[in-house]
Amino acid sequence: METTDQPFKEYPPFVRIHNDGTVERHTGTQTLPPSPLSDAGVSSKDVVISPNVSARLYIPHSALSSTKKLPTLVYFHGGGFIIESPFSPHYHPYQDALAAKAGVIIVSVNYRLAPEHQLPAAYDDSWEAIKWTVGLSDEWLRDHADLDRLFLAGDSSGGNIVHQMAMRAGETASSEVRLRGVVLVHPFFWGPNLSDTENEQSGFVEKLWKLFSPDVGAMQSHWVNWEAEGATPLTKLGCRRVMVCVAELDFIKKKGKEYYEALKESGWEGKVELVETEGENHVFHLFKPDCEKARVFMEQVVSFLNQV
């Protein structure tokens, strides 16, 4: 419990912020190293994109001795804009497995986190990583990336980033970022018409939201409410295929479904599909990667990435 004379503020379960500005993260800080050859047959390495942005790259090891071009996926991790990284024990094994099963190159982006770096820092860093990718700025990309099959994917806050990046791609005058499709996994959206479960969580969401965008509440923010003032119309989404994924027990499931319906009805000229996993909660596939429903979900994502 906080008291008025405490030298910090708690934002469970994520962070403690001390009065001197020091941020102490309670979770999402562990890391795993890259691997020249994993058990799944994938090579990974870390790269520096800019002073603010880095990434972990994944490629099926057999592709390194081939001239075959592979679909390219830029991935944005979740963690409420506050915790986690591509290098964590949740994300590294998942990206390793996805690269192997889908036969894709993955650029898993390490963007700056709040509260040290408030929005739109995460969006700006993510866009910088996309431009780095399409610029073929690494030999793995130059030799093996098929930019005609460029995808974005992310979960939770990363799913929100995917939406924002697809909007930027649609608004960009040049055609440097040509997206084949995007995957939003349990995406973080907010806004009016909350369900009973969402209303129970509204205080928690608004309290956290102040850490990364203090000037306006989540309900009114165009970053997470596609109908808010200043939000770009969904018709500007810069791709023609979208996969929206929700989980039955996830408290933000309703907003994910509303996004799916809004996109269908917006006049956007593309195809959107909805995938719902019954009996599971938020990002269950990261916490229980070996369960049957996680395996099924992996196959659904792989199928989307491999469609011609």
**Residue 268 half-sphere exposure toward CB, CA atoms < 13 A:** 25
What are the pLDDT digits (tens) for 213-248? 988 999 999 999 999 999 999 999 999 999 999 999
Of 16-20, 147-151, 271-275, minimum mean pLDDT range: 16-20
How sure is the predictor about 304, in pLDDT bands with cuts at 50, 70 and 90? very high
What pTM did the predictor assign?
0.96
CA 91 to chain centre: 11
Contact yes or no for 192/162 (Cβ under 8 A): no
Domain positions in the chain are 1-30, 35-306
Looking at the annotation, which residues are catalytic? Answer: 156, 250, 282
Token look-up 């941020």 returns 23
Residue 172: the pLDDT is 77
SS3 of residue 246 by DSSP:
strand
Question: How much of the chain exceeds pLDDT 90, in percent?
Answer: 87
Would you call the peptide bond into 187 cis, given omega within 30 degrees of 0 as the criterion?
no
Give helix 121-134 / helix 157-171 axis angle, nearest 10°.
60
Is residue 173's pLDDT more than 90? no
Token look-up 């497995």 returns 97
Contact yes or no for 60/302 (Cβ under 8 A): no
Rg (CA), the chain: 19
E strands present in the chain: 8-11, 15-18, 23-25, 42-48, 54-60, 70-76, 105-110, 145-155, 181-185, 241-247, 271-277
**Torsion angle of alpha carbons 106, 130, 108, 33, nearest 10°?**
100
Question: What CATH class is the domain 35-306?
Answer: alpha beta
Question: How much of the chain exceeds pLDDT 70, in percent?
Answer: 97
Residue 1: the pLDDT is 45
Is residue 49's pLDDT more than 80? yes
CA–CA separation, 168 and 238 (whole Å):
7
* Spatial CA neighbour of 177 closest among 143, 222, 142, 129: 129
Burial class (CB within 10 angstroms; exposed 0-12, middle 13-18, buried 19+) of 7: exposed
Region 43-62 average pLDDT = 98
105 DSSP assignment: E
How sure is the predictor about 174, in pLDDT bands with cuts at 50, 70 and 90? low
CA–CA separation, 227 and 258 (whole Å):
11
